[in-house]
Amino acid sequence: MTRFRMVVPIVALALMLTACPAGNTSTTQNPSTSASSGSGVSGATIEVTSLWGGAEATAFQAVLDAFTAKTGVKVTYTPVRQDYSTVLSNRIEQQQPPDVAIIPGIGFLRSFAKDNKLIALSELGIDDAALHSAYLPNLADMGTAVGAVNGTAYAVMVKLNSKSTIWYDPSRFTANNWQTPTDWPGLVALTNQIKTAGKTPWGLGASDSWTLTDWFESIYLRNSGEAAYDKLFSKDGDWADQSVKDAIKMMQDLLTNDNVAGGLDGALATAFVDGIGLVFGKNPTAEMYYEGGFVGGIATGDVNTALKVGQTIDFFDFPEINGSGAKITIGGDVMAALTKNPGVAEFMQYLASGEAGKVWVKGATIISPMNGVTGTDYPDSTKKEATQIVNSDLARFDGSDLLPGGPDLGAVLQQALQNPSGVDQSLTDFQTQVTDAWNS
């Protein structure tokens, strides 16, 4: 998903890494300065939840610690590593919500807002003008829209990552004289070259089905173009269209039993982080791993601390297809408040600040959308990812994040790898589910 599902208007992004203060004529206090130790909430305790673990949790904990040092508000972080959306929904239903949470998708955002389960940002001291100015100028329109429902802002977009990065070990590529490709035929040729050398081309953590949705989206955007992508992930999408079947076929042709570590059965039983270990663990069994920019921080922070960025771990851009140009997909996460307990407003204001962004990016797991975060704030391991976003010809938000909650595209793609002959029926069934979800 971002490992979650959320909506944003389809826009081309150019992430500006040098901060330019955006004009703000609002009388509302700027989010970056309002969460201060003089706010009268020192000693309060709030609970924040997401599914981040490992290096991602460590990077986020640094943000929480900085907030506590600034305000005196203690933060209890509750990670939920499995069935996050179910656990969050159950807590809300039982009237025991966390104070602040990652929202697991636009369907949930809409539903929670409709049922008055979320606190509007305006009630927390963040009006629309302040929120707009909180983001980097080139991301401001997307940032303000991403957490809005029917024109009311409920959530802050707190982080981004590229979803167009293929990770590999440069030292092993050099030793085997393998060259990183720039187009799809080159990627297929490299896969065959690695296999011919007696090695396994791909690690794949497909038990976390969202990893397969990212494969599909990257292929579909490049193979079918942005107009088709925009339509597919809207209410007008046709999941039985041949363009969908073509993208799935390209996945099936590349991710075969012979091309993935453990075969398809093994890949479908391998979790996301374990898949990273197939390529970057101490005893690697595969040569490439496709996933977002966050892989670098997880690999170096959790999987193998001996990795050296640029030497034993790096990425190349997901390649062009049919001259598509440098198109990329992007994922991101939003946070919303579910209570107005003491400290919650100050925390949400802090999240919507360059001050928080500067702390967060040092953990090497995110790109911050916040105004005031500059290129010099990023560690070496994420500078390249940010540069990729800057230089992209066009970007689209993670497509499955644009779908309403309920229908599981990842499950459809898991079935497609297991049973290629059943794709047509799976897509027909999925279309029915998506139509029903949009209507509700």
Give the pLDDT score at 376. Answer: 87
Using 50, 70 and 90 to split pLDDT, how confident is the model at 108? confident
Query: Is 30 a residue whose pLDDT tops 60?
Result: no
Give the pLDDT score at 27. Answer: 33
CB 254 within 8 A of CB 188: yes
Using 50, 70 and 90 to split pLDDT, how confident is the model at 290? very high
CB 72 within 8 A of CB 78: no
Give the pLDDT score at 430. Answer: 98
Element spanning 289, H or E: strand 288-291
Pairing of strands 288-291, 394-397: unpaired
CB atoms within 10 A of CB 185: 13
Question: Between 403 and 258, where is the model more confident?
Answer: 258
Average the pLDDT over 166-184 and give the result: 98
Give the pLDDT score at 90. Answer: 96
Give the pLDDT score at 310. Answer: 94
Q: pTM for this one?
A: 0.77
Average the pLDDT over 152-176 and give the result: 96
Give the pLDDT score at 2. Answer: 46
- Cα–Cα distance, 316 to 290 (Å, whole number): 10
**For the stretch 372-399, what's the b/e string if a residue is b when 16 or more beta carbons lie within 10 angstroms of its beta carbon?**
bbbeebbeebbbbbbebbeebebbbbbb
Using 50, 70 and 90 to split pLDDT, how confident is the model at 110? confident
Give the pLDDT score at 35. Answer: 52
Q: Which tokens is 367 given? A: 């790109």
CA-to-CA dists, residue 389 to 225, 376, 395, angstroms: 18, 16, 8
pLDDT, tens digit, 9 for 90 and up, residues 361-400 = 999 889 998 999 988 899 988 889 988 876 788 878 888 9
CA-to-CA dists, residue 409 to 164, 217, 270, 292, 413, angstroms: 19, 11, 18, 18, 6
Give the pLDDT score at 332. Answer: 83
pLDDT, tens digit, 9 for 90 and up, residues 339-351 = 999 999 999 999 9
The lowest-confidence range among 65-79, 185-199, 304-318, 378-392 is 378-392
Tell which residue, 397, 393, 373, has the closest CA to residue 383: 373
Using 50, 70 and 90 to split pLDDT, how confident is the model at 148? very high
Give the pLDDT score at 17. Answer: 38
CB 416 within 8 A of CB 426: yes
Using 50, 70 and 90 to split pLDDT, how confident is the model at 10? very low
Average the pLDDT over 320-328 and give the result: 92
Q: Which residues contact 95 (CB under 8 A, 6 or more apart)?
A: none
pLDDT, tens digit, 9 for 90 and up, residues 186-244 = 999 999 999 999 999 999 999 999 999 999 999 999 999 999 999 999 899 999 999 99
Q: What is the DSSP string of 37-49?
A: TTSS-TT-EEEEE
Rounded to the nearest 5 degrees, what angle is found at the Cα of 374, between the Cα atoms of 373 and 379?
A: 100
Give the pLDDT score at 23. Answer: 33
Using 50, 70 and 90 to split pLDDT, how confident is the model at 300? very high
Query: Is 91 a residue whose pLDDT tops 80?
Result: yes
Give the pLDDT score at 380. Answer: 85
Percent of the chain with pLDDT over 90: 72
